[in-house]
Amino acid sequence: MAKVQDSAMATRDVDINPTKAEGAGRPVPHWRVAIIGAGAGGLGLAIRLMTSRRRDFVLFEASDGVGGTWRSNTYPGAACDVPSHLYSYSFARKADWTKTYAEQPEILRYFEECAERFGISGHVRPNTRIRDAHWDERARRWRLTDAEGARYEADVLVSAVGTFATPSYPDIVGLDSFSGPCFHSANWEHEHDLAGRRVAVIGTGASAAQIVPEVAKWAKELYVFQRTPSAVSSRGQRETPPDYADISRPGWQKERRENFQKIIAAEKFVWDSLRRVFDLLVPYVDAPGKHEVAEPMQHIVFSTPALFASYLQKLQQMQDAVVTALRERAAAAGAPYADDDPAPRALAAAAFGCLVAAQHSWLAGGAKATFAATLDRAMATIAPAP
């Protein structure tokens, strides 16, 4: 026996105007395949079933339509955190994303358009939350029950409920008695005007990184409470030029996706390139922990939060030392920086960021040689040899 709880979901190909399961004495609706969740995963599977002529399926969706997290998360600044042109189905490529990192409304429209384009909408049972599922060994089928007690059956059951549909609330003393507006980012209450208000954001995860800059535009005071430090760099959001992606060239999106995966997987080439950045910076500094920072660090970044926090501390020490060294060199050249002059720190930050620029050149389809050349040019400009 298996259990599926707090799920989401959809409809059958012959049931264009879906209703709840029949009452007592009537046959229980049955499908060959039942999918719980009409987000990216569930919708993608449904499209594959449809295009392979397997049309006896249903998608159960707890909300009022397809889209999953992109339907439920509508907080200010909600957007994709990977480049837009990597964020589409391989069988439904989209070349006209309007921004480098597409925002929530545009992504939701994409999934809705896919549902219509491939004829999936009639298979979706919206506002149907599956509460229980168990396997009937004798009948060789799944028996499902939704939140209202209606029953369904399927030969194959697929859970595509995702991980971002159910908010997790912190166990904070006094939270229940707080008299002001209080809500989770996944259930944003848009009726509250935050302009001129004192606002507190608890957490520094990916959602907070998008919410905080937007709320800061309106709030009189904004407080961010964190447990674990986060590493946040410039996103580089920009409008997408009309000719940004040449969809007529076969394989351009596949190539870009593969390059992105190589970088995320931290190939030895990438880590060797990062080591080169530090090697070029080392002549400027004699910072505590510089050797630890310069070591290849995939084993640090992808291990424990404590090790990552330690790495960030060492990185900050080295950046501070770079700033100091650059100030001293400028003073020796007769052009001292004022104490509040941001130029040295900006220069140091740019040096650490040039690897990212080089990675983007590779991600855009450039060869490894182009990647290396971009890195060399950036470093030669930003941090010439002493």
* Cα angle, residue 66 at apex, residues 61 and 68 outer, rounded to 5°: 80
- Helix intervals (H) in 158-251: 206-215
For 374, the enclosing helix (H) or strand (E) is: helix 368-382
- Give pLDDT, residue 313: 62
- Give pLDDT, residue 45: 96
Task: Return the closest-CA partner of residue 117 out of 78, 66, 158.
Answer: 66
pLDDT in tens, the chain (386 residues): 333 333 333 333 334 334 445 555 678 999 999 999 999 999 999 999 999 999 999 999 999 999 999 999 999 999 998 888 888 898 998 888 999 899 999 999 999 999 999 999 999 999 999 999 999 999 999 999 999 999 999 999 999 998 776 788 888 898 889 999 999 999 999 999 999 999 999 998 889 999 999 999 999 999 999 887 776 767 778 888 777 666 656 777 777 777 666 655 544 544 455 555 555 545 544 444 444 444 444 444 444 556 555 655 655 565 565 556 556 655 665 555 555 544 444 444 444 454 444 444 444 444 445 545 544 554 454 444 44
- Give pLDDT, residue 304: 52
Q: Would the pTM of this model clear 0.75, i.e. be above it?
A: no
Dump the DSSP string for 288-321.
TTHHHHHS--HHHHTS-HHHHHHHHHHHHHHHHH
CATH superfamily membership of 30-159: FAD/NAD(P)-binding domain (3.50.50.60)
- Give pLDDT, residue 328: 65
Which residue ranges make up each domain of the chain? 30-159, 176-225, 252-382
